[in-house]
A and B are shown apart, each in its own frame.
Chain A
């Protein structure tokens, strides 16, 4: 990878519209599988709430991404209430939500014809990877100082719409993947 000059503002057009959307969601982690509905909603105070609830009964977690880059856990079931898991999910969602970009020291790298738009975080770096002329977002990536730890791909959903599906794959935790498929809920009858 070599450092190149690039303009971070070209990324804005790829920012997914996640202000109000529901995804059918599957989480696979080390042989365990859970499924449910992930609700992402921008609140009147500009925070973004992400709730993962199962199809029938209770909610697994309720996270709040505050406007000032803060983060709050409103609720989480005891089985998922592990610091490392919560930190991982927080970082994954921050990458998808394009958070912590303006206060980060941006730089860009070139590798195999692709531009890695890099935004250093408190820990590691978030990359938004585009083609060389920044016409297409290829993938999003989180990396430690040494190697990639997670990749996310978005499919469908043109500008102004939420992606039809999102897939997340972790490298440091074996078989930890998250798949999201957009659903449209029927109106109340």
Chain B
């Protein structure tokens, strides 16, 4: 009797997972993925790409689209530059965050702002490949024919207050992130698509320079 309940439970959870992300199945053993992922990202010294962002405000039925350029260099340097329809530059370098919007410049020490620090770490983790080791989240990994989907559920209290989950799509060909989707509790979401990626090109220090 107990066995059949367990089996029914297993089957139910299998179907629920399958229904959650059409085309994807839950990986029962994440270790193989982790190993391949760690090996592949060990060779990624830098990434340059364009990005397209869609922010959907569900209650307002409002979609805001923006585009820009993205740079990453191992281990903790990121520059995200929004170009259209507004100018906004965010540089993460070491423990520091630099923000420039229009003519205004703002330096933030990530260590002094916990949420910024955690959001900062999500970005670094997603492209640098260490998101599965982040204690602020628990993760599940799904697989389709061309991609892995890493689902991160926040465990840290302040992130739980903002996000339901954060999903990262990883290309099976080169194990780089092609999409980061942040789902808020309100039903709003922000999806960043990375396009035209160039791996391991030399990126000048000045790109990540915090004045």
Neighbouring A residues of B60 by C-beta, 8 Å: 39, 41, 43, 49, 51
A56 at the A/B interface (Cβ < 8 Å)? yes
Neighbouring A residues of B62 by C-beta, 8 Å: 39, 41, 51
Question: Is B162 in contact with A53, judged by CB distance below 8 angstroms?
Answer: no
Q: Which of A39, A58, A77, A189 contacts B64 (CB 8 A)?
A: A39
Question: Is B57 in contact with A55, judged by CB distance below 8 angstroms?
Answer: no
* Cα–Cα, bound, A59→B188 (Å): 8
* Cα–Cα, bound, A141→B104 (Å): 26
Among the listed stretches A95-103, A106-114, A125-133, A179-187, which one makes contact with chain B, having 4 or more residues with CB under 8 Å of it?
A179-187
Q: Which of B65, B86, B106, B190 contacts A57 (CB 8 A)?
A: B190
Question: Is B101 in contact with A35, judged by CB distance below 8 angstroms?
Answer: yes
A62 at the A/B interface (Cβ < 8 Å)? yes
* Cα–Cα, bound, A56→B86 (Å): 12
Interface size on B, residues (CB 8 A): 38
Interface size on A, residues (CB 8 A): 31
Question: Is A24 in contact with B86, judged by CB distance below 8 angstroms?
Answer: yes
Q: What is the chain B residue whose CB lies nearest that of A28?
A: B104
Question: Is B59 in contact with A56, judged by CB distance below 8 angstroms?
Answer: no
B161 at the A/B interface (Cβ < 8 Å)? yes
* Cα–Cα, bound, A62→B102 (Å): 25
Neighbouring B residues of A56 by C-beta, 8 Å: 53, 80, 90, 119, 190, 192
Q: What is the chain A residue whose CB lies nearest that of B157?
A: A78
B174 at the A/B interface (Cβ < 8 Å)? no
Question: Is B65 in contact with A55, judged by CB distance below 8 angstroms?
Answer: no
Question: Is A26 in contact with B101, judged by CB distance below 8 angstroms?
Answer: yes
* Cα–Cα, bound, A74→B86 (Å): 27
Question: Is A74 in contact with B59, judged by CB distance below 8 angstroms?
Answer: yes
Contact with A along B39-63 (1 / 0, CB 8 A): 0000000000000111101011011
* Cα–Cα, bound, A3→B25 (Å): 74
* Cα–Cα, bound, A75→B84 (Å): 27
A162 at the A/B interface (Cβ < 8 Å)? no
B184 at the A/B interface (Cβ < 8 Å)? yes
Contact with A along B139-169 (1 / 0, CB 8 A): 0000000000000000000100111000000
Contact with A along B82-94 (1 / 0, CB 8 A): 1011101010000
Known: A41-B60, A58-B162. A26 touches B104 (CB 8 A): yes
Question: Is B63 in contact with A188, judged by CB distance below 8 angstroms?
Answer: yes
Q: What is the chain A residue whose CB lies nearest that of B123?
A: A56
Neighbouring B residues of A49 by C-beta, 8 Å: 59-60
Q: Which of A35, A57, A183, A189 contacts B182 (CB 8 A)?
A: A57
* Cα–Cα, bound, A58→B122 (Å): 13
Question: Is A55 in contact with B84, judged by CB distance below 8 angstroms?
Answer: no
Neighbouring B residues of A75 by C-beta, 8 Å: 185-186
Question: Is B85 in contact with A184, judged by CB distance below 8 angstroms?
Answer: yes
26 contacts between A and B (CB under 8 A): A22-B64, A24-B86, A26-B101, A26-B104, A35-B88, A37-B86, A39-B60, A39-B64, A41-B62, A55-B90, A56-B80, A57-B190, A58-B182, A59-B57, A59-B186, A62-B59, A62-B186, A75-B185, A77-B161, A77-B162, A79-B115, A183-B86, A184-B85, A185-B64, A185-B65, A188-B54
* Pairs A-B, 7 closest by C-beta atoms: A58-B162, A183-B85, A24-B86, A55-B88, A35-B101, A41-B60, A185-B85
Interface residues in chain B, defined as those with a beta carbon under 8 Å from any beta carbon in chain A: 52-55, 57, 59-60, 62-67, 80, 82, 84-86, 88, 90, 99, 101-102, 104, 106, 115, 119, 158, 161-163, 182, 184-186, 188, 190, 192
